[in-house]
Structure formats: C-alpha cells, structure tokens
Chain A
Amino acid sequence: MTALPLASVSFVESTGVQIVKAIVIFAFVLVVVPLILLLERKLLGRFQARLGPNRVGPFGLLQPLADVLKLLSKERFTPRTAVPWMMAMAPAISIFTAVVTLAIIPFGDVRHNALFGASYGLYGIDVSIGILWAFAFGALAFYGLMLGGWASGSKYSFLGAMRSAAQLISYEVSLGLSLVGVVITAGSLSLTEIVNSQDHIWYVVPQFVGFCIFMVAAFAETNRPPFDLPEADAEIVAGYNTEFGGMRFGSFFMAEYINMVAIAGIATAMFLGGWHGPGPGWLDPIWVIVKMLLFVVLFIWIRATLPRLRYDQLMAFGWKVLLPLATLNALVTAIVVSA
C-alpha cells in the first residue's frame, strides 16, 4: 500500500515570519486594488474615446482615494422592510471570503535568503488541500450576495440575489471541473507544486480547453461583464446591492476587485506557469504580478467589448456547453495522462 500522494507541504517558517508575510500580501493587495480600479476607469475611458478620470491628483491617481472618502461620509441607512443585522453581515462576508482566498496565491517558491540566513516561501499558505481552499471560500462568497439581496427587502435586490445564486452555482461546477485536468497532469493540489511541474511547458498549452472553460467560469464567478446579470443596471437597477450605500456598497465593490485579483492569481499559477519566466530568481514575484495584471486587463477589455448576456442564454451556456465540455476535458486528460 503506497502512501497517498499528498503534496509535500512539510516546510514551515517561524511563527513571526508567517504572520508578517500574510500581512504583507494583504497590504499589497489593498494597495493594488484601488490602482486596478483607476486602471479600469482609465482603460474604459480610452476604449470609449474619452480621457477617464484625470482631475484628482496627477493623472487622476488620487481618484480612488476621493471615491473612498466620499463613500465614507455617506449616511448609513436600511430600508423599513430590511433585516438590519443580515444587511450588516452580507458585505462583511463578501470581503472576508475575498481576502481569505488571497492566501493561496503563490508569488514564488521556497527560497533561501542569504541576507537573513533563513528560507521563506513567497505565498500565504501552501497546504495539502491547495486549490480546494479557493473553492471553499469562493463558494462561501455566495452567502454575501444572497444575504445582502434577500435581507434588503426590496424586489430588485431580491431578483438580483436569486440571479446571483443561480449563476454562481451553475458556473461553479464548470470552474471545478475545468481544473481537474490540471490536477491530473500535475498530480497535486498544492499551487506551488503545480507551478513547479510547469517547468517545461505551461499548462495553458496542453490544457487549452480547460483554460478557456476556467476563464469563462471565472468571469461568471466574479460577476464581471458579460456575466454581470446579478447587478444588470438596465433591468434590475443594481441587483443585490440596490439598497446598499456608503462603505457597505464599497465592500461589495472592493470584494469584486479582490476576487478578480485572486482569480487572476489562481489562473496564473494553474495555467500560465506562475513565477516561471526569463531572468534571475528575484524576478519571480514580478513575473507573477505581471501575469496577474495581464488577466486583469483582459477582464477590463472584455467588459468594454462584449454586451451582457440574456439570463436564459447564460443558464443554457453554463449547463449545456461549459459543463459537458469540462467533463469531456477531464475525461480526455485522464485517459491521455494515464496512457
């Protein structure tokens, strides 16, 4: 009886280092998210042949800060029909699950640092469940949208919540199945081991179908256009966050962008070879960040390009195209890898 081939995750740093690196990753994302927000508005502006925000600070760099200050000074209110404590919990859940997902993004391998005379792994956590951690918290994010929409006591919120619930669970199946191919090929769930096994070839090449399915499902999971039906402003005002204002709305908004960063990080590690790239070893985190930025720009580009789907099209596409395709992909990969 051979031992179960779990990831070798025996390496651990000292407690202090672990805490510091978690805080550093969190702080990094907290700085990057407002910049992505600005990048999105700038790029959308350019796509639509206008300038985008350029009044607050040089090149509009302080625009996100101004937005946050505005949101902070808004009045907090809950509609008469709402359930106040649930409405308070919903944005907190959203941002909580988004932040926790960040933990598994690998920015680099374990490496020895001569300066401090110790080894560090450039990631939040590297545990044997690996990618399942992201799935677990991605699934919990559902409660934020659902509770928020349902507890608002408004029909638009309610419709938005129902839509987001059905959409998230429909595409979650395809999202899970699209990564089975990668897991079979790499033989591990740990993201750092998956990146290490992409030494010779990035999985985007042998797993191209899986990559496409993953990207489509990722757009649906993060509620990004063309899959932003839960907040389709032309039909249901603002969907699940109709009744939210101030920083509570800001939380949903920020959670969406953190989720985008997290999905970009996972896609980088699973398909684009993570930190692999030309140049010396210290460039590793830079490569990861560059590849993540590519994905973020792709997200923005597609938002500017594609119109929103109709709801029955969304459901038909998720169940009748993506799911069989993802299943076939897993099956073919299993046969090819074992044969």
Chain B
Amino acid sequence: MLKSYLPALVFLALGAGTGAAFTALNSVLGPRRPSKVKSDPYECGLPSEVTSSFRFGISFYLIAMLFILFDIEVIFLYPVAVGLKQFGTFALVETIVFIVLLFVAFVFVWRRGALEWR
C-alpha cells in the first residue's frame, strides 16, 4: 500500500533538484557586476519608494477568511462523494443538508456585502 507512493518520492526529489538547480545556476554561470542603481527595486523613472510595511485593501483579508471557510467544506464533501453510491439514502440526505447549510452561509455572506470588491 505505502509502496505505491515510492514514485512520488522520486518526483519529489526530481522537483526539488530541478528547482534548486534553476535557482542556483545563474550565480555560477552569470556575470557579477553589482552597482548601486542596479540594486534598487524596479520603478519607472521615479525614485522607488519602498517601505517595509505595505498597506493594502481589506478585501484581500476577507477573501482569505471566506476561502478557509469554503475550502474546508469542500474537503468535507470529498469523503462522502467517494462512497455516496454505497452509503445510500442516508448519506444523500446528509449531503443535501450539508450543502444547503453551506448555501445559507454563502447567501448570508453575499447579502452582507463581503463579496463586493472594494
């Protein structure tokens, strides 16, 4: 059973190896000519004004919280989905109740305006 994961380990190693090689290769092969201007972060013409703490829209936080809510519900749906045919009516009713509850939460979030992008 666990042995069927062995190729996965090979893929993990190949992926990590490729990633590490691609990241490091330029330090070996590329030239090295540092300068003051080159080390500035990109800006188009103006002096770049980068502070350590950015401020950005609250919508991003909201979306992240909603994601956690709904993604966990999706994960709960998968185990039932696999066995729905075998489990019969009981599982079906449970699934419907679950999805309807999820939908009520969704409508509530929508009505409160959490899905409006500001």
Contacts and interface: CB of A to CB of B under 8 A. Distances in A.
Contacts of B71: 169, 172-173, 176
Interface in A246-263: 246-248, 250-251, 254
Interface in A62-117: 72-82, 88-89, 91-100, 102-103
A338 B103 contact: no
A244 to B, nearest CB: 10
> Which has the most chain B C-beta neighbours within 10 Å: A73, A133, A172, A173?
A173
A266 to B, nearest CB: 15
A174 to B, nearest CB: 9
Interface string A142-172: 0000000000111111110010011001101
B88 interface: yes
Interface string B1-29: 10111111011101110111011111101
Interface string A102-142: 11000000000000000000001111000011000000000
A98 B81 CA distance: 26
B6 to A, nearest CB: 5
B30 interface: yes
Contact of B74 (A21, A177, A188): A177
A242 B16 CA distance: 23
Interface residues of B, number: 70
A66 to B, nearest CB: 15
A95 B19 contact: yes
B70 interface: yes
Given A10-B1, A19-B10, A72-B26, A251 B19 contact: yes
A26 B92 CA distance: 41
B6 A19 contact: yes
Given A99-B11, A125-B5, A330-B77, A79 B22 contact: no
A300 interface: no
A248 B4 contact: no
Contacts of B38: 77
Given A74-B26, A80-B41, A95-B19, A162 B67 contact: no
A170 B67 contact: yes
B47 interface: no
Contacts of A11: 4
A154 B74 contact: no
Nearest to A92: B19
A176 B56 CA distance: 28
A18 interface: yes
Contacts of B63: 166, 169-170, 315
Contacts of A22: 7, 10-11, 14
B10 A315 contact: no
B75 to A, nearest CB: 8
Interface string B96-112: 10010011001000100
Nearest to A255: B19
B60 A180 contact: no
A334 B93 CA distance: 10
> Which has the most chain A C-beta neighbours within 10 Å: B16, B19, B54, B75?
B19
Contacts of B75: 176
A51 interface: no
Nearest to A132: B78
Given A2-B86, A18-B10, A80-B41, A246 B26 contact: yes
A10 B3 CA distance: 9
Given A152-B41, A187-B82, A327-B103, A93 B26 contact: no
Interface of A: 2, 4-6, 9-12, 15, 18-19, 21-23, 26, 72-82, 88-89, 91-100, 102-103, 124-127, 132-133, 152-159, 162, 165-166, 169-170, 172-173, 176-177, 180, 183-184, 187-189, 237, 242-243, 245-248, 250-251, 254, 311-312, 315-316, 319-320, 323-324, 327, 330-331, 334-335, 337-338
Given A99-B19, A169-B71, A237-B44, 11 more contacts: A4-B83, A9-B4, A72-B30, A92-B20, A100-B15, A102-B11, A187-B85, A242-B42, A247-B22, A315-B63, A323-B70
